[in-house]
Amino acid sequence: DREFTEEVLVEFGAHPNIINFSSAVAVCRERNPDPSVLRDLFDPLTDSEGRIQTECLDYLLRRSKEPSGQPSFSEEEITDLLEAAVDENGTKINVNDLCNYLIKS
């Protein structure tokens, strides 16, 4: 619903920040929202076909650190996320498919 979408975007921001995105996923799973709520968080990075460069997502996932300095995502988690919605060329991720994967996982 629109109010929930606005709540998520206000709380976690509309910035391409994978930590905020991961937090939004955890909150959204409880409410079973439309994946478009999560997709909005990737808007600044997506092309006109709703895809993000694989290298860009890989960079964001590897750059993300916990307050302790440890990586936020393991190599296995990064591989799973990158493979969840990659295109046939392996160069772009379908953001809609990625969001569906995150909500269901």
- Can you tell me the mean pLDDT for 45-55? 89
- Can you tell me the mean pLDDT for 32-55? 81
From CA 44, how far away is CA 36, in angstroms rounded? 14
pLDDT at 94 (0 to 100):
92
pTM of the predicted protein model? 0.64
pLDDT at 25 (0 to 100):
60
- Can you tell me the mean pLDDT for 12-18? 54
99 is written with which tokens?
Answer: 């969001």
Backbone region of residue 57 per phi and psi (left: phi > 0; alpha: psi in -120 to 50; beta: other values): alpha
Q: Is the pLDDT of residue 63 over 60?
A: yes
Report how far apart the first and last C-alpha atoms of the chain are (Å, whole number): 22
- Can you tell me the mean pLDDT for 3-19? 57
